[in-house]
Amino acid sequence: MVMQSINPATNELLAEFDTWDDATLDEVMTQVSYGFADWSQLTPLEDRCLLLRRLADVLRDDQDLLAELITLEMGKLYTEAMAEVEKCAVLCEFYADHADEMLADELVETDASKSYVAYLPLGVILGVMPWNYPFWQVMRFAVPAVTAGNLAVLKHASNVPQCALALEEVFRKAGYPDGIFTNLMITSSQVEQVIRHPAVQGVALTGSETAGRKVASIAGYELKKTVLELGGSDAFIVLENANMKAAIQGALKGRFQNMGQSCIAAKRFILDNYISEDFIADFKTAIEEHFVAGDPMDKNTTLAPMARQDLLDELHDQVMRSVELGAELVCGGYQLDREGCYYAPTILKNITSNMPAFNEEFFGPVAIVLKASEPAHALGLANATDFGLAGSVWSDDLATAESIAIGMQSGASFVNSISFSDPRMPFGGIKNSGYGRELSAEGLREFVNIKSVWIK
């Protein structure tokens, strides 16, 4: 099979790559697995942390080139791509600073002369990763995995093969020995072969629910641990007493950054009845004033393309199916009449529970508006989804906002801020958004053998 790298701003074919056959994949996996003993036992954590600092340096040295590649291959604004690469560098420094305390033996008082918990590497960890943050998502899985002493192999999304190769090169340039981080040029149907390889001890997947279920079922049969970071349909609750200006700015960024293609984007705007029509009008005005479509490399552009035409078509179909059932378009709802995968920023209101807009994840620049009669109703609507990734509450009444934040069925809740990930805090979901955590000490310890050692 051939993987194509296509610029979604122009539909230009940038590059093509042949995928590996099964025999090549098997050979690479076997070769990689030979490196585990050296890396896990002979390379002290101190040295692994030094490499992390060099990884951060390489990311910053090559930041503009890497950002350009991200923008060319999946379409996000160049400024957003620059920020993504910088965030990866910060992640490396975070674990370089803290991995030693997070992985240190923990003494436990028992009736032994010495007993403790040790955090030991497991083997090869497979990352199945998406295209929306083609550097960040990969680094979020790979950096803690290799720092804990594991080896990482990557099955990246097939529309970002150049980013996948660039990531491998970044590790090489930083001085990592071959085989510590390996890009596999394979199709999604070959992921099963990787999971079943005896050296593979865990799988981290970020992507759709469908891909998550498929991968987790194979890994489950093989008794290999999975961490799944799947979709979300995050609530953005605005209460009557919220600071409207801040909430509108939050809505603009929370829904439309990365062209709405983010698992923790604000997707369902749950507005108190009292302020809902004003909010919708101001939100529409803010959209009209803010967005200018253009080349995502140009710093004056604020409306970038979506990553692929099929993703745009799927989103548009969800919008149209909702409209057929009675949803009303406040703005948008069409593909721009220009080259590339540009979708007009859209607001949908008059939503009922039988619509795709109520039940499905909208992975693109479409805001779904729901109305609530009181805070408890808003919380009920926020939780009326199969997903449970994150969510935010906007209000000057911090006590009420915090109680709603706690009541949200989600892996993270934010008050008066949009949702975001931070290396210092665990990241992940509940319900159909997946399980397990990335980032922080919790993320570092997902793929380790938490081992009890007891000495009489």
Q: Residues in the site for ligand NDP, rule: CB under 6 A?
A: 128-132, 155-158, 187-188, 191, 206-208, 211, 214-215, 229-231, 263, 311, 361, 363
Neighbour count for residue 125 (Cβ, 10 Å)? 27
Residue in the structure block whose two tokens are 């209000």: 395
What's the min distance (Å) between Cβ of 111 and ligand NDP? 47
**Structure token digits, residue 127:** 């990352």
What's the min distance (Å) between Cβ of 429 and ligand NDP? 9
| CB nearer to ligand NDP: pick between 378 and 439 | 439
| CB nearer to ligand NDP: pick between 191 and 304 | 191
Annotated active-site residue 263? The verdict is yes
What's the min distance (Å) between Cβ of 164 and ligand NDP? 9
Residue in the structure block whose two tokens are 């991200």: 70
| CB nearer to ligand NDP: pick between 144 and 207 | 207
Instruction: Report the relative pairing of strands 151-155 and 346-349 from DSSP bridges.
Output: unpaired
| CB nearer to ligand NDP: pick between 217 and 352 | 217
Neighbour count for residue 34 (Cβ, 10 Å)? 11
Quote the CA–CA distance of 289 and 283 in Å, as a whole number: 10
| CB nearer to ligand NDP: pick between 79 and 188 | 188
99 with 48: CB under 8 angstroms? yes
DSSP assignments along 214-278, one per residue: HHHHHHHHTT-EEEEE----EEEEE-TTS-HHHHHHHHHHHHHGGGG--TTSEEEEEEEHHHHHH
What's the min distance (Å) between Cβ of 86 and ligand NDP? 19
What's the min distance (Å) between Cβ of 216 and ligand NDP? 10
Helix or strand run (H / E) with residue 369: strand 366-372
What's the min distance (Å) between Cβ of 330 and ligand NDP? 22
DSSP state of 101: H
The catalytic residue among 73, 84, 168, 229 is 229
Nearest residue to the partner ligand NDP, using Cβ: 207
Residue in the structure block whose two tokens are 């970038």: 304
340 with 295: CB under 8 angstroms? no
The catalytic residue among 49, 92, 163, 263 is 263
Quote the CA–CA distance of 161 and 154 in Å, as a whole number: 11
Instruction: Report the relative pairing of strands 225-229 and 151-155 from DSSP bridges.
Output: unpaired
- The dihedral over CA atoms of 394, 398, 401, 402, expressed in degrees to the nearest 10, equals 130
What's the min distance (Å) between Cβ of 264 and ligand NDP? 8
| CB nearer to ligand NDP: pick between 307 and 370 | 307
Annotated active-site residue 229? The verdict is yes
CA distance between the termini of the chain: 58
Quote the CA–CA distance of 378 and 271 in Å, as a whole number: 8
**Structure token digits, residue 361:** 């994840």
| CB nearer to ligand NDP: pick between 238 and 259 | 259
Which residues are the active-site residues? 229, 263
